[in-house]
Amino acid sequence: MNPLLFPVIAAQGLLVRMRTETLTPAGGPTSGTESPAEDEPVRIAVLGESTAAGCGVDSHGKGFTGHFARELGARTGRPVEWAVHGQYGATVRRIRYRLLPEVGPDLQVAALLAGVNDVLGRTSPQGWGDELHAVVKELGQRAEQVVVTGIPAFGEFPSVPGTLGRYLAERATALDDVSQRVCAEFANVTWVGSVDVLPMGPEFFARDRFHPSAHGYREWARIVAGKVAL
């Protein structure tokens, strides 16, 4: 990014912070079962930042976790026991030390949704890689499969102006490149890039024009669930 554009980026960043509504995490239970039946359930956990916490919808059933659980249930014909461990504003370091210890053992699938706050907080690629490696390694010991989602495409966010969006997208690409290398080190870890979810139309976003809507979470969860082999 041209350094001469940094004042524009700073001004646009301030404007976005002033104008963007702060949405609360989803309410209701943070664990449950989709499609109860007599079959052995698929046990899953979703871990991460505000998207894991369900910001943009009023319950986890309408968020990523609920849609992810239903997709896996439909694909396997089995009930799905799910749990959410998410926090608004969480960086990968906070996920590692605050949220990861909450995740239970003996999971079939663990999904990690992270990176937006590390882009916004200017986490270095080296720092991101070190923390991500630790999180993924630990998740891989608790789950048969781990899915790491790529950082969403900032250039698609209606709330993010063009110059700022391009700057954030460059930083996201740098972290995503590291993520792919880290995930490739583990046989049971899959990385799913945000390009698989493009294009994002207006209906993809909640009223803050930053977090996904129920429709956006459903589309995202469908893509990610398609990368899971059960």
Residues 176-185 pLDDT 10s? 999 999 999 9
Distance CA 62, CA 60 (A): 5
DSSP character for 89? T
Distance CA 202, CA 149 (A): 21
Enter the pTM of the model: 0.93
**pLDDT of 17 strictly over 90:** no
DSSP helix/strand/coil, 2: coil
> Taking the CA atoms of the chain, what radius of gyration do you get in angstroms?
17
> What value does the mean pLDDT of the chain take?
91
Distance CA 39, CA 166 (A): 48
For residue 209, the tally of other CB atoms under 10 A from its CB is: 17
Question: Which residue bears the tokens 């990861």?
Answer: 100
Instruction: Please give the residue that has the higher pLDDT: either 149 or 158.
Output: 149
Distance CA 64, CA 161 (A): 26
Could you say which of 3.40.640.10, 3.40.50.1110, 3.40.50.300, 3.20.20.60 is the CATH number of the domain covering 31-225? 3.40.50.1110
Angle in degrees, 0-180, between the axes of helices 162-183 and 6-19, rounded to the nearest 10: 90
Closest Cα partner for 55 from 64, 47, 46?
Answer: 64
**pLDDT of 4 strictly over 60:** no
149 within 8 A of 225, measured Cβ to Cβ = no
Tokens of 213: 């809507």
Residues 112-145 have pLDDT tens digits of 999 999 999 999 999 999 999 999 999 999 999 9
